[in-house]
Amino acid sequence: MPPSPAGAAADALGRGDLAAAEDLARAALRAGESLPARLTLAQALAWQGRGRDADAVLAEVDPGTLAEADLVAWALPRAANQFWMLDEPERATAFLRATRARLQSATTVDALLSTFAMNAGSPQRALDLAEAVLRTPDAEDRAIGWAASTAALSAARMGRFAPVDSLAMRASAAGHPGLLRFTSAFGQTTALTMAGELDRAESLARQLAAPAQPSSAIAQVLLGEVLLTRGELDEAVSLLWEAATALSVTGYSWGPLAWMLSAQALGRQGRAVDAAKALARAESRHGLKSMLFAPELALARAWTCSARRDPVGAVAAARDAARAAARGGQSAVAVRALHDAACLGDNRAGESIAALEMDCTFAGLALEHARALAGRDDTRLESVAKRLAAFGISRTSPGGPRPTR
C-alpha cells in the first residue's frame, strides 16, 4: 500500500530531498491532512534556509490544543528553526526548556538540547545529555537520531574515538532526518583523521555527495575539511568557497565553518586578500550557534596572518585556537591547532601537545613534527615529513620542509 501524502513527504524529508518534501507536504495539507504534514513542511522550509516561512507555518498551530506527543513533535522543529535559521539560539533554548517543563517524558527534548549544547561549544554537556537519552529504553527514533549523531561528533572532537563509529551507526539505524547524517559523518572523519586514516576519511566524505541543496553544500564542507588536512588546497578551496556561498542563505552552523575553512586554505596558499575576505565573512556569521567551531575561526585568523607575512600574529592566533579548543574540552581539535601552531613557527607547541596526552597516530606525528621544527633538526624533519606523507597528511611548514602527499 503506498504511503499517504504526509507519509510520502516525511519519506522525502528523511532522504534529504527537501524540494520534494515541501511539494508533497503542501499537497497533503491541501488534501486535509494537518499536523504531520505541517511539521514536515516546516522542516523542509527550514532546512532550505527559509526560516521565516517555516516559523509562519508552525505559528498556525495552537500548542494549548495538543496532546503531549504532538506538543513535542511541534516544539522540536520550532526550536530548531529558532536556533539555526532565525539565529536566535538563546530564545530557542529557553523555549525548549519551557516546553520540557510541561512534559511527563522529556527524552526527545533532551536530545535536541544536547545538539544545542554541542553547537554552543559545550561538547561535554552535550555528551552527557546525549548519553542519558541513549540509555533510555523507550527513547523514540528521532531522539536517538539527534542524540547519537551529537554524541558521535562531540566524542570525536573531545578525543574519545572508540565509540564514534557505533554512535554514527546507531544514528543511521534510527532513521534520523537526512541532514543529521552529516553530523555523524563529521565525527567519523574527525576520528579517522586523528587515526591517520586519511584515505578512509576522504572516501567517507566523498560518499556523502548529494545532488540537492543544502545537502550538497554540507557534503562539500566535510570533503573540503579532509582535503585541507591532506594539503589538496586547490580542490579544498574550490569546494569550500562554493559550499560557503550556497550555505550563506541558510542559518546552518556549517556556513560559518565553511568560511573558516576557506580562509585557512586560502591562507595556506598565500592568498592574503582572498583569505581576509573569507575570514571577514566567517566572523560576521559566527555566533553562539557555531561556538563549537571557535577554534577553527582562530585558525582562520592564524593562516590569514601567515599569508600577510605576520608570523607573530599567526602564532598568537594558532595558540588562541588551541586554548579555545582546550577550554571546551575539544582535545582532538587542540592537537590539530597546536600542530598548525608548530608549522607557523611556535617552538613551544610540542610541549603543549605532549601535555594533552592524546594517544593516537596524528597526535604522535604532530608531537614529533613540532619537536623537530623547534629543534631545527633537518634529519628528523625529513623523517617525520615522510611519515606524515605516508598517511596523506600535509601542512605548510615555514620552519621546515613541507610534507607532501
Average pLDDT for 339-366:
96
Residue 96 falls inside a structural domain:
yes
CATH number for 29: 1.25.40
What does the pLDDT read at residue 385?
86
Average pLDDT of span 303-311: 98
* Same domain flag for 6 and 69: yes
**Confidence band, pLDDT 50/70/90 cuts, at residue 176:** low
- Do residue 127 and residue 183 come from a single domain? yes
**What is the C-alpha separation between 86 and 218, in angstroms, rounded?**
19
| pLDDT for residue 253 is more than 90 | yes
Asked if residue 342 has pLDDT above 60, the reply is yes
The reply to whether 229 falls in a domain is no
Q: Is residue 175 part of a domain?
A: yes
Question: d(Cα 151, Cα 128) in Å, to the nearest integer?
Answer: 9
Domain housing 122: 105-192
Helix axes 254-268, 294-307, angle to 10 degrees: 30
Residues 1 and 73 in one domain: yes
- Poorest-confidence range of 61-70, 181-190, 368-377, 390-399? 390-399
| 18 exposure class (CB count in 10 Å sphere: 0-12, 13-18, 19+) | buried
Q: Is residue 332 part of a domain?
A: no
On whether residue 31 sits in a domain, the answer given is yes
User: What is the rounded distance in angstroms from the CA atom of residue 110 to the CA atom of residue 100?
Assistant: 8
**Model pTM score:** 0.91
Q: How many domains does the chain have?
A: 2
Q: Is 114 found in the same domain as 94?
A: no
Where among 166, 192, 218 does a domain terminate? 192
Question: pLDDT (tens digit, 9 = 90+) per residue, 183-239?
Answer: 999 999 999 999 999 999 999 999 998 877 788 999 999 999 999 999 999 999 999
Asked if 140 and 72 count as a contact pair (C-beta separation under 8 A), the reply is no
